[in-house]
Protein backbone atom coordinates (compact mmCIF):
# COMPACT_ATOMS: atom_id res chain seq x y z
CA UNK A 1 0.00 0.00 0.00
CA UNK A 2 1.42 3.35 -1.09
CA UNK A 3 1.34 6.64 0.79
CA UNK A 4 -1.46 7.92 -1.43
CA UNK A 5 -3.46 4.75 -0.77
CA UNK A 6 -3.20 5.36 2.96
CA UNK A 7 -4.20 8.97 2.37
CA UNK A 8 -7.36 7.95 0.49
CA UNK A 9 -8.17 5.23 3.03
CA UNK A 10 -7.77 7.73 5.86
CA UNK A 11 -10.25 10.04 4.15
CA UNK A 12 -12.61 7.13 3.64
CA UNK A 13 -12.62 6.26 7.35
CA UNK A 14 -12.94 9.92 8.30
CA UNK A 15 -16.06 10.39 6.17
CA UNK A 16 -17.52 7.05 7.22
CA UNK A 17 -17.02 7.79 10.91
CA UNK A 18 -18.57 11.25 10.66
CA UNK A 19 -21.49 9.89 8.66
CA UNK A 20 -22.17 7.05 11.10
CA UNK A 21 -22.02 9.15 14.27
CA UNK A 22 -24.12 11.87 12.63
CA UNK A 23 -26.74 9.30 11.62
CA UNK A 24 -26.85 7.74 15.08
CA UNK A 25 -26.95 11.18 16.70
CA UNK A 26 -29.88 12.32 14.58
CA UNK A 27 -31.71 9.08 15.31
CA UNK A 28 -31.17 9.44 19.06
CA UNK A 29 -32.33 13.08 19.07
CA UNK A 30 -35.49 12.54 17.04
CA UNK A 31 -36.44 9.18 18.55
CA UNK A 32 -35.57 10.31 22.07
CA UNK A 33 -37.78 13.39 21.91
CA UNK A 34 -40.58 11.36 20.31
CA UNK A 35 -40.54 8.61 22.94
CA UNK A 36 -39.49 10.57 26.03
CA UNK A 37 -42.95 10.00 27.52
CA UNK A 38 -42.57 6.22 27.16
CA UNK A 39 -39.26 6.31 29.03
CA UNK A 40 -40.79 8.43 31.80
CA UNK A 41 -43.88 6.23 32.13
CA UNK A 42 -41.84 3.02 32.38
CA UNK A 43 -39.14 4.48 34.65
CA UNK A 44 -41.32 3.75 37.71
CA UNK A 45 -40.62 7.06 39.41
CA UNK A 46 -36.84 6.68 39.13
CA UNK A 47 -34.54 9.69 39.09
CA UNK A 48 -33.71 11.64 35.95
CA UNK A 49 -30.20 10.19 35.87
CA UNK A 50 -31.58 6.66 36.08
CA UNK A 51 -33.94 7.38 33.21
CA UNK A 52 -31.09 8.89 31.15
CA UNK A 53 -29.01 5.81 31.91
CA UNK A 54 -31.80 3.56 30.65
CA UNK A 55 -32.08 5.71 27.51
CA UNK A 56 -28.34 5.49 26.95
CA UNK A 57 -28.44 1.71 27.28
CA UNK A 58 -31.41 1.46 24.92
CA UNK A 59 -29.81 3.60 22.20
CA UNK A 60 -26.48 1.85 22.66
CA UNK A 61 -28.17 -1.38 21.59
CA UNK A 62 -30.00 0.44 18.81
CA UNK A 63 -26.71 1.75 17.42
CA UNK A 64 -25.77 -1.83 16.54
CA UNK A 65 -28.95 -2.10 14.48
CA UNK A 66 -28.27 1.30 12.93
CA UNK A 67 -24.85 0.06 11.80
CA UNK A 68 -26.55 -2.95 10.22
CA UNK A 69 -28.98 -0.68 8.35
CA UNK A 70 -26.71 2.15 7.17
CA UNK A 71 -23.28 0.48 6.97
CA UNK A 72 -23.59 -0.40 3.29
CA UNK A 73 -25.08 2.97 2.36
CA UNK A 74 -22.37 4.91 4.18
CA UNK A 75 -19.72 2.87 2.37
CA UNK A 76 -20.95 4.16 -1.00
CA UNK A 77 -21.42 7.70 0.31
CA UNK A 78 -17.88 7.72 1.70
CA UNK A 79 -16.50 6.65 -1.66
CA UNK A 80 -18.48 9.37 -3.42
CA UNK A 81 -17.25 12.06 -1.02
CA UNK A 82 -13.60 10.95 -1.25
CA UNK A 83 -13.54 11.18 -5.05
CA UNK A 84 -15.56 14.40 -5.01
CA UNK A 85 -12.93 15.95 -2.73
CA UNK A 86 -10.18 14.72 -5.04
CA UNK A 87 -11.91 16.49 -7.92
CA UNK A 88 -12.65 19.65 -5.92
CA UNK A 89 -9.09 20.01 -4.57
CA UNK A 90 -7.61 19.32 -8.03
CA UNK A 91 -5.66 16.35 -6.71
CA UNK A 92 -6.82 14.01 -9.45
CA UNK A 93 -5.06 15.56 -12.46
CA UNK A 94 -1.49 15.17 -11.07
CA UNK A 95 -2.19 11.52 -10.29
CA UNK A 96 -3.56 10.85 -13.78
CA UNK A 97 -0.66 12.79 -15.36
CA UNK A 98 1.78 10.50 -13.56
CA UNK A 99 0.27 7.55 -15.40
CA UNK A 100 -1.79 6.16 -12.52
CA UNK A 101 -5.13 4.90 -13.89
CA UNK A 102 -8.32 6.05 -12.22
CA UNK A 103 -9.42 2.56 -11.25
CA UNK A 104 -6.12 2.12 -9.36
CA UNK A 105 -7.49 4.70 -6.95
CA UNK A 106 -10.45 2.43 -6.25
CA UNK A 107 -8.23 -0.15 -4.52
CA UNK A 108 -8.18 1.67 -1.13
CA UNK A 109 -11.95 2.11 -1.35
CA UNK A 110 -12.39 -1.61 -1.98
CA UNK A 111 -10.12 -2.40 0.96
CA UNK A 112 -12.21 -0.15 3.18
CA UNK A 113 -15.38 -1.80 1.86
CA UNK A 114 -14.01 -5.24 2.67
CA UNK A 115 -13.29 -4.12 6.24
CA UNK A 116 -16.82 -2.72 6.55
CA UNK A 117 -18.21 -6.02 5.21
CA UNK A 118 -16.23 -7.87 7.86
CA UNK A 119 -17.58 -5.60 10.60
CA UNK A 120 -21.11 -6.08 9.29
CA UNK A 121 -20.69 -9.86 9.39
CA UNK A 122 -19.28 -9.66 12.93
CA UNK A 123 -22.17 -7.45 13.99
CA UNK A 124 -24.75 -9.76 12.40
CA UNK A 125 -23.35 -13.06 13.63
CA UNK A 126 -22.21 -12.15 17.16
CA UNK A 127 -23.44 -8.81 18.46
CA UNK A 128 -27.05 -8.66 17.27
CA UNK A 129 -27.94 -12.20 18.46
CA UNK A 130 -26.45 -11.37 21.87
CA UNK A 131 -28.69 -8.30 22.31
CA UNK A 132 -31.74 -9.53 20.40
CA UNK A 133 -33.98 -9.40 23.48
CA UNK A 134 -33.00 -5.78 24.09
CA UNK A 135 -33.84 -4.84 20.51
CA UNK A 136 -37.24 -6.54 20.59
CA UNK A 137 -38.50 -5.21 23.92
CA UNK A 138 -40.79 -2.12 23.99
CA UNK A 139 -39.23 1.33 24.32
CA UNK A 140 -38.34 2.27 27.87
CA UNK A 141 -39.05 -1.14 29.41
CA UNK A 142 -36.56 -3.15 31.44
CA UNK A 143 -35.43 -6.68 30.63
CA UNK A 144 -37.43 -8.09 33.56
CA UNK A 145 -40.68 -6.30 32.67
CA UNK A 146 -43.66 -8.43 31.67
CA UNK A 147 -44.59 -7.68 28.07
CA UNK A 148 -47.62 -8.29 25.96
CA UNK A 149 -47.89 -11.62 24.17
CA UNK A 150 -48.95 -12.21 20.58
CA UNK A 151 -50.60 -15.55 19.84
CA UNK A 152 -48.55 -17.67 17.44
CA UNK A 153 -49.32 -20.84 15.55
CA UNK A 154 -46.84 -23.59 14.83
CA UNK A 155 -47.68 -24.56 11.23
CA UNK A 156 -45.87 -27.89 11.56
CA UNK A 157 -47.97 -29.18 14.48
CA UNK A 158 -50.85 -26.63 14.31
CA UNK A 159 -50.46 -25.86 18.03
CA UNK A 160 -51.52 -22.32 18.98
CA UNK A 161 -49.41 -20.69 21.71
CA UNK A 162 -50.45 -17.74 23.89
CA UNK A 163 -50.18 -16.45 27.45
CA UNK A 164 -50.78 -13.52 29.78
CA UNK A 165 -47.29 -12.06 29.59
CA UNK A 166 -43.72 -12.55 28.45
CA UNK A 167 -40.37 -11.90 30.19
CA UNK A 168 -37.82 -11.74 27.38
CA UNK A 169 -34.73 -11.78 29.61
CA UNK A 170 -35.76 -15.16 31.04
CA UNK A 171 -37.55 -16.39 27.88
CA UNK A 172 -40.49 -17.09 30.16
CA UNK A 173 -44.15 -17.18 29.14
CA UNK A 174 -46.42 -16.31 32.08
CA UNK A 175 -49.72 -18.22 32.36
CA UNK A 176 -48.94 -20.14 29.21
CA UNK A 177 -51.72 -21.65 27.12
CA UNK A 178 -51.18 -24.23 24.38
CA UNK A 179 -54.16 -25.16 22.19
CA UNK A 180 -53.71 -28.81 21.16
CA UNK A 181 -55.61 -29.49 17.91
CA UNK A 182 -57.58 -32.60 17.04
CA UNK A 183 -57.00 -35.02 15.45
CA UNK A 184 -53.35 -34.06 14.71
CA UNK A 185 -52.02 -33.88 18.26
CA UNK A 186 -54.85 -34.79 20.61
CA UNK A 187 -57.98 -36.92 20.39
CA UNK A 188 -60.03 -33.79 21.06
CA UNK A 189 -59.40 -30.06 21.01
CA UNK A 190 -57.90 -29.19 24.37
CA UNK A 191 -56.23 -26.18 25.99
CA UNK A 192 -53.10 -27.04 27.93
CA UNK A 193 -52.49 -24.45 30.68
CA UNK A 194 -49.38 -23.94 32.82
CA UNK A 195 -48.20 -21.52 35.48
CA UNK A 196 -45.35 -20.56 33.20
CA UNK A 197 -43.25 -21.89 30.36
CA UNK A 198 -39.53 -21.42 29.71
CA UNK A 199 -38.19 -21.70 26.15
CA UNK A 200 -35.11 -23.84 25.54
CA UNK A 201 -33.14 -23.67 22.32
CA UNK A 202 -32.15 -26.76 20.38
CA UNK A 203 -29.14 -28.67 21.68
CA UNK A 204 -27.43 -31.88 20.67
CA UNK A 205 -29.48 -33.91 23.15
CA UNK A 206 -32.78 -32.01 23.19
CA UNK A 207 -35.09 -30.39 20.61
CA UNK A 208 -36.23 -26.80 20.88
CA UNK A 209 -39.41 -26.17 22.81
CA UNK A 210 -41.18 -24.96 25.94
CA UNK A 211 -40.76 -26.44 29.42
CA UNK A 212 -44.18 -26.03 31.04
CA UNK A 213 -44.54 -26.02 34.83
CA UNK A 214 -47.66 -27.12 36.76
CA UNK A 215 -49.73 -28.03 33.71
CA UNK A 216 -53.46 -28.62 33.63
CA UNK A 217 -54.23 -31.33 32.64
CA UNK A 218 -51.16 -33.43 33.35
CA UNK A 219 -49.49 -35.74 30.84
CA UNK A 220 -51.34 -38.84 32.06
CA UNK A 221 -54.69 -37.14 31.38
CA UNK A 222 -53.90 -36.12 27.80
CA UNK A 223 -55.39 -38.36 25.06
CA UNK A 224 -52.45 -37.77 22.74
CA UNK A 225 -52.22 -39.27 19.28
CA UNK A 226 -49.13 -41.03 17.99
CA UNK A 227 -47.93 -37.77 16.40
CA UNK A 228 -48.81 -35.85 19.57
CA UNK A 229 -46.59 -38.08 21.69
CA UNK A 230 -43.63 -36.87 19.61
CA UNK A 231 -44.54 -33.22 20.24
CA UNK A 232 -45.75 -33.28 23.87
CA UNK A 233 -43.13 -35.03 25.97
CA UNK A 234 -43.25 -36.33 29.55
CA UNK A 235 -40.72 -34.96 32.07
CA UNK A 236 -39.54 -36.31 35.41
CA UNK A 237 -41.90 -34.04 37.32
CA UNK A 238 -45.44 -35.44 36.86
CA UNK A 239 -47.00 -31.97 36.48
CA UNK A 240 -44.44 -30.68 33.97
CA UNK A 241 -44.42 -31.13 30.19
CA UNK A 242 -42.16 -30.26 27.29
CA UNK A 243 -43.77 -29.08 24.03
CA UNK A 244 -41.51 -29.33 20.98
CA UNK A 245 -41.70 -26.24 18.75
CA UNK A 246 -39.45 -23.66 17.11
CA UNK A 247 -41.79 -20.80 18.10
CA UNK A 248 -39.56 -19.06 20.62
CA UNK A 249 -39.89 -16.10 22.94
CA UNK A 250 -38.85 -13.60 20.25
CA UNK A 251 -41.78 -14.69 18.07
CA UNK A 252 -44.19 -14.46 21.01
CA UNK A 253 -43.16 -10.83 21.54
CA UNK A 254 -44.96 -9.88 18.32
CA UNK A 255 -41.89 -8.75 16.38
CA UNK A 256 -42.36 -9.61 12.71
CA UNK A 257 -38.65 -9.24 11.91
CA UNK A 258 -37.13 -11.07 14.90
CA UNK A 259 -35.26 -13.36 12.50
CA UNK A 260 -33.12 -10.38 11.43
CA UNK A 261 -31.44 -10.47 14.85
CA UNK A 262 -30.45 -14.13 14.64
CA UNK A 263 -27.16 -15.53 13.45
CA UNK A 264 -26.98 -17.28 10.11
CA UNK A 265 -26.67 -20.69 11.79
CA UNK A 266 -29.81 -20.09 13.86
CA UNK A 267 -31.66 -18.84 10.79
CA UNK A 268 -30.72 -21.95 8.81
CA UNK A 269 -31.91 -24.15 11.68
CA UNK A 270 -35.27 -22.36 11.67
CA UNK A 271 -35.67 -22.80 7.93
CA UNK A 272 -35.18 -26.57 8.19
CA UNK A 273 -38.46 -26.89 10.10
CA UNK A 274 -41.90 -26.09 8.59
CA UNK A 275 -42.95 -24.09 11.65
CA UNK A 276 -43.80 -20.74 10.12
CA UNK A 277 -46.29 -19.53 7.54
CA UNK A 278 -45.40 -19.49 3.85
CA UNK A 279 -44.98 -15.69 3.79
CA UNK A 280 -42.72 -15.73 6.85
CA UNK A 281 -40.64 -18.59 5.47
CA UNK A 282 -40.13 -16.82 2.16
CA UNK A 283 -39.10 -13.64 3.99
CA UNK A 284 -36.56 -15.59 6.01
CA UNK A 285 -35.12 -17.35 2.95
CA UNK A 286 -34.91 -14.02 1.14
CA UNK A 287 -33.12 -12.45 4.10
CA UNK A 288 -30.67 -15.35 4.22
CA UNK A 289 -29.84 -14.90 0.52
CA UNK A 290 -29.34 -11.17 1.08
CA UNK A 291 -26.85 -11.86 3.86
CA UNK A 292 -24.83 -14.07 1.54
CA UNK A 293 -24.79 -11.59 -1.34
CA UNK A 294 -24.39 -8.31 0.59
CA UNK A 295 -20.55 -8.21 0.44
CA UNK A 296 -20.62 -8.59 -3.34
CA UNK A 297 -23.40 -6.00 -3.66
CA UNK A 298 -21.39 -3.49 -1.61
CA UNK A 299 -18.28 -3.98 -3.75
CA UNK A 300 -20.27 -3.52 -6.97
CA UNK A 301 -21.93 -0.37 -5.59
CA UNK A 302 -18.52 1.16 -4.83
CA UNK A 303 -17.23 0.28 -8.31
CA UNK A 304 -20.36 1.81 -9.85
CA UNK A 305 -20.01 5.06 -7.90
CA UNK A 306 -16.52 5.83 -9.25
CA UNK A 307 -17.31 6.24 -12.99
CA UNK A 308 -20.47 8.18 -12.11
CA UNK A 309 -18.64 10.69 -9.90
CA UNK A 310 -15.64 10.98 -12.23
CA UNK A 311 -17.42 11.05 -15.57
CA UNK A 312 -15.14 11.93 -18.46
CA UNK A 313 -17.70 13.99 -20.41
CA UNK A 314 -18.76 16.09 -17.41
CA UNK A 315 -16.62 18.47 -15.35
CA UNK A 316 -19.38 19.56 -12.96
CA UNK A 317 -18.89 17.64 -9.73
CA UNK A 318 -22.36 18.68 -8.52
CA UNK A 319 -23.98 17.19 -11.62
CA UNK A 320 -21.92 14.02 -11.28
CA UNK A 321 -22.89 13.58 -7.64
CA UNK A 322 -26.56 14.16 -8.51
CA UNK A 323 -26.39 11.53 -11.26
CA UNK A 324 -24.65 9.09 -8.92
CA UNK A 325 -27.22 9.63 -6.17
CA UNK A 326 -30.03 9.17 -8.69
CA UNK A 327 -28.60 5.89 -9.96
CA UNK A 328 -28.07 4.60 -6.41
CA UNK A 329 -31.63 5.50 -5.43
CA UNK A 330 -32.92 3.65 -8.49
CA UNK A 331 -30.84 0.61 -7.54
CA UNK A 332 -32.23 0.69 -4.00
CA UNK A 333 -35.75 0.93 -5.40
CA UNK A 334 -34.98 -2.06 -7.63
CA UNK A 335 -33.79 -4.07 -4.62
CA UNK A 336 -36.96 -3.27 -2.67
CA UNK A 337 -39.16 -4.09 -5.66
CA UNK A 338 -37.43 -7.45 -6.20
CA UNK A 339 -37.72 -8.24 -2.48
CA UNK A 340 -41.44 -7.51 -2.55
CA UNK A 341 -42.00 -9.63 -5.66
CA UNK A 342 -40.02 -12.45 -4.06
CA UNK A 343 -42.06 -12.35 -0.83
CA UNK A 344 -45.40 -12.49 -2.66
CA UNK A 345 -44.13 -15.35 -4.89
CA UNK A 346 -44.25 -13.40 -8.15
CA UNK A 347 -40.51 -13.98 -8.58
CA UNK A 348 -38.27 -16.80 -7.47
CA UNK A 349 -36.25 -16.00 -4.36
CA UNK A 350 -32.84 -16.53 -5.95
CA UNK A 351 -33.77 -14.32 -8.92
CA UNK A 352 -35.13 -11.64 -6.55
CA UNK A 353 -31.75 -11.47 -4.80
CA UNK A 354 -29.48 -11.81 -7.81
CA UNK A 355 -31.34 -9.56 -10.24
CA UNK A 356 -30.06 -6.28 -8.66
CA UNK A 357 -26.52 -7.70 -8.51
CA UNK A 358 -26.62 -8.73 -12.18
CA UNK A 359 -27.88 -5.28 -13.18
CA UNK A 360 -25.24 -3.58 -10.99
CA UNK A 361 -22.49 -5.64 -12.60
CA UNK A 362 -23.78 -4.73 -16.05
CA UNK A 363 -23.83 -1.02 -15.17
CA UNK A 364 -20.28 -1.20 -13.84
CA UNK A 365 -19.09 -2.73 -17.13
CA UNK A 366 -21.12 -0.19 -19.15
CA UNK A 367 -19.86 2.91 -17.34
CA UNK A 368 -16.27 1.72 -16.88
CA UNK A 369 -15.13 3.26 -20.19
CA UNK A 370 -16.67 6.65 -19.33
CA UNK A 371 -14.47 7.33 -16.30
CA UNK A 372 -12.12 10.31 -16.40
CA UNK A 373 -8.60 9.31 -17.44
Distance CA 203, CA 270 (A): 13
For residues 132-148, average pLDDT: 70
Compare 338 and 45 and report the one with higher pLDDT: 338
Is the separation of the CB atoms in 324 and 310 below 8 Å? no
pLDDT at 254 over 90: no
pLDDT of residue 277: 63
pLDDT of residue 45: 65
Nearest to 186 by CA among 159, 211, 214: 159
Instruction: Work out the number of other CB atoms within 10 angstroms of the CB of residue 210.
Output: 28
**What do you get for the CA distance between the two ends of the chain, in Å?**
22
pLDDT at 299 over 90: yes
pLDDT at 43 over 70: no
pLDDT of residue 42: 67
Pairing of strands 209-213, 232-234: unpaired
pTM for the structure as a whole = 0.79
pLDDT at 148 over 90: no
Is the separation of the CB atoms in 297 and 364 below 8 Å? no
Amino acid sequence: MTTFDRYLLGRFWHVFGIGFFATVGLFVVFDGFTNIDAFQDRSGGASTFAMLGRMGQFYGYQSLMMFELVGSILTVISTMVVFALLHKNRELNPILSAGVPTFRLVVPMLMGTLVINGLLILNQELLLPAVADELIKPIGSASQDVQRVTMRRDFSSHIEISGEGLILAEQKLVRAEFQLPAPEINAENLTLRADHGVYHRRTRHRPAGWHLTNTTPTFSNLPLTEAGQKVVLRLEEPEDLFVVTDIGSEQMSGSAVAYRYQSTWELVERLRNPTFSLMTSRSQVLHLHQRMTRPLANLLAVCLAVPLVLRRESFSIITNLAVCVGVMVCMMALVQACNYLGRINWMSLDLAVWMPIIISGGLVAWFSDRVQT
